[in-house]
Structure 1
């Protein structure tokens, strides 16, 4: 585990781009002041360690109470909030689940938090946003050449992906699990400046958590539409997404009519309800909206809204342990699903199927890192998959994962067959 401030990464300095989930009121007028990182080899409880770091830096994460009346100081030097990223591996540690294969991007820590402060005057808004590393004005660099991607190299073939789907169906048949989310990984070499491509990913239509976050020699960009957990005005909210079709009139009709998609979706809504119900300090859990169809880029997706009021003490560490990794990207029961994921997926999930967002004095908002890419000094990495039930067709699941990847690859500059 590492703490630091004012260090410089290995990428060129980009124009300012806000981290995922950062409040609009602070964008362009905050800078990073200190940071924390943890990797799965470090040991300890990552939920408690990052909560301790944020609390020590003035954020109210020990008791996330009714914050509607909280007044946030906005003077120079006051704390604006913190960007927070938690990997799929860190989520497994927090949940007590099985760890899978190592991440294909080992330079990215498993927990990363950056505290931002307000600034005044002519201080430039530099910090760990975009591919730049954690903080500090850096000398201007000569412009790099445009991003050029090599061929995408999947970590498994379509046939191997289909075999994994069949293996999950067998596990369901044995009664080991009810549903498992199966995720594949692909990567491509690159030359040139990755930042414009990351910007395009973050700006994809429907990206509720569009943004870029980076550290020393790495960056991630997300176009995630899915809320893992939001705390605002005295309520805890999660918005699970499950169910996908092309964004056409026919695709919408098919999604609404699909018994398989609805059953899969309701199973994850129940898991989300159970996750919230286990938390201390919450009142009755309510499904505010069920199976609402939303659009993300060229796809329809089904989303529900599950929430509960805060009636007692509730801390960030407890929230992370209960909700990361998210049910919509693991399965049910969650711990059994994590064991199947560890057994079947040949490459670690890394920054995908994890959490990234913002912890502020008056709210918390973490997105689930679907539709997310990572870059290191040599390669661009992406992941996609879907939930598998007894009724899943292996070939259809392979095609759905490809459909989810296609907008990301196009945003990065790849030519993807339609």
Structure 2
């Protein structure tokens, strides 16, 4: 069932609001006023539902070129969209079972300002995190890489991102662990979003889409190496990584061109190396001017799911993803961030974990091209998830 309205005191987690990309100066005074939660089974268009819900609560984003005024107390809203909802928007519904079905596929939470609150004194019960159980074995992961490479050889696709999942039982309160995750170095979209019986912790460095002053920006990340001098040199000189990266930049340019004024799509930075925890990653910045009349719903349809976690061409890659991955992507590879008058800032939910009432869930993967080595791809996914799992465990 869809849930609309604020949670009661009894069920709302008693933590300071820490939604990714929320204004730092507001986080200790934000109060939830309304909430929309939606699952795929509810039916309807999640992009339209989000746009209409925000408009009904004083945040009209049906024309992103038109300045939106702050209400008397409205600060903004957190927005979360799952990978499965993004695939539906793209026209390629997923069929794999979701490992954490209690998580919504869309959540929009409206906040305004209340009295400034001091953080509560820590009184956490003992935290225990059990062993991780993978959704596929390394051999199955490697076999999926080979299947994608065969599809590339046939000319069906150019690149596909493959993602694996793992779950671990826990006892105690998962929120401190998820908040630690959001504090990892390089987490541009670090933070936590909570609901009744679920929570998402994000340490993503990647911008899915940012909009302000009529400008649309995306910052795709593709290409990973250990954060050593040797790793940086390898990333900068890798023909495979650069080719993979440029394919996704071209895909993002095409996505923005669908919603931009003609001739305004530019690449500001190409293959810039940045650090996240103990990894180097390559990032580019693509920018465009929003077309006249562009609204939030059309923006989400054009950019979700993000090209760096799907592949190229996007629709063909999504079809191969649906056939290859044994479980759904859940809270990962979706969108999570902040929407306010005059600004949209949504991160792509890589380096993300979720908690339901029984287990913590993580996801990790990488882009597969013809030059991919299956063993190396399995190792890269493990390297990406290692800091996440260590942080959740408290190490």
Does TM-score exceed 0.5, indicating one fold?
yes
Distance 1:198 1:34, change over 3 A: same
Q: Name the structure 2 match of 1:25.
A: 25
1:92 and 1:324 in contact (8 A); partners too: yes
> Separation in 2 of the partners of 1:6 and 1:347?
30
Matches within 5 A, 1:246-265: 246-265=226-245
Q: Name the structure 2 match of 1:161.
A: 141
> Separation in 1 of the partners of 2:274 and 2:350?
15
Q: Name the structure 2 match of 1:211.
A: 191
Deviation at 1:2, TM superposition (A): 2.4
> Separation in 1 of the partners of 2:305 and 2:365?
15
**Residues 190-199 or 244-253, more deviating:** 190-199
Matches within 5 A, 1:79-228: 79-119=74-114, 121=115, 124=117, 143-228=123-208
Matches within 5 A, 1:359-374: 359-374=339-354
TM-superposition CA deviations, 1:35-57 (whole Å, max 9, x none)? 00111111111111111001111
Q: Name the structure 2 match of 1:319.
A: 299
Matches within 5 A, 1:228-377: 228-279=208-259, 281=261, 284-377=264-357
1:282 and 1:310 in contact (8 A); partners too: no
Distance 1:203 1:414, change over 3 A: closer
> Separation in 1 of the partners of 2:361 and 2:12?
17
Deviation at 1:310, TM superposition (A): 2.6
Deviation at 1:71, TM superposition (A): 5.7
TM-superposition CA deviations, 1:310-335 (whole Å, max 9, x none)? 35121000010010100000000111
> Separation in 2 of the partners of 1:307 and 1:233?
12
Instruction: Provide the aligned length of Structure 1 versus Structure 2.
Output: 394
5+ residue gaps, structure 1, are: 127-139
Distance 1:18 1:144, change over 3 A: closer
Distance 1:7 1:204, change over 3 A: same
Distance 1:161 1:11, change over 3 A: farther
Q: Name the structure 1 match of 2:50.
A: 50
TM-superposition CA deviations, 1:164-193 (whole Å, max 9, x none)? 000000010111110000000001000112
TM-superposition CA deviations, 1:203-254 (whole Å, max 9, x none)? 0000000000011100000000000000012200000000000000000000
Q: Name the structure 1 match of 2:382.
A: 402
TM-superposition CA deviations, 1:22-41 (whole Å, max 9, x none)? 12232212211000011111
> Separation in 1 of the partners of 2:363 and 2:291?
38
1:12 and 1:141 in contact (8 A); partners too: no
> Separation in 2 of the partners of 1:99 and 1:275?
21
1:283 and 1:311 in contact (8 A); partners too: no
Distance 1:125 1:234, change over 3 A: farther
Distance 1:8 1:180, change over 3 A: farther
2:259 and 2:290 in contact (8 A); partners too: no
> Separation in 2 of the partners of 1:280 and 1:248?
39
Deviation at 1:144, TM superposition (A): 4.5
> Separation in 1 of the partners of 2:104 and 2:210?
23
- Per the normalisation by structure 2, the TM-score is 0.95
Deviation at 1:65, TM superposition (A): 1.2
Deviation at 1:111, TM superposition (A): 0.3
Deviation at 1:8, TM superposition (A): 5.0
> Separation in 1 of the partners of 2:10 and 2:370?
46
Deviation at 1:21, TM superposition (A): 1.1
1:86 and 1:355 in contact (8 A); partners too: yes
SS of aligned partner of 2:19: coil
Deviation at 1:97, TM superposition (A): 1.3
Deviation at 1:142, TM superposition (A): 11
Q: Does 1:411 align with 2:391?
A: yes
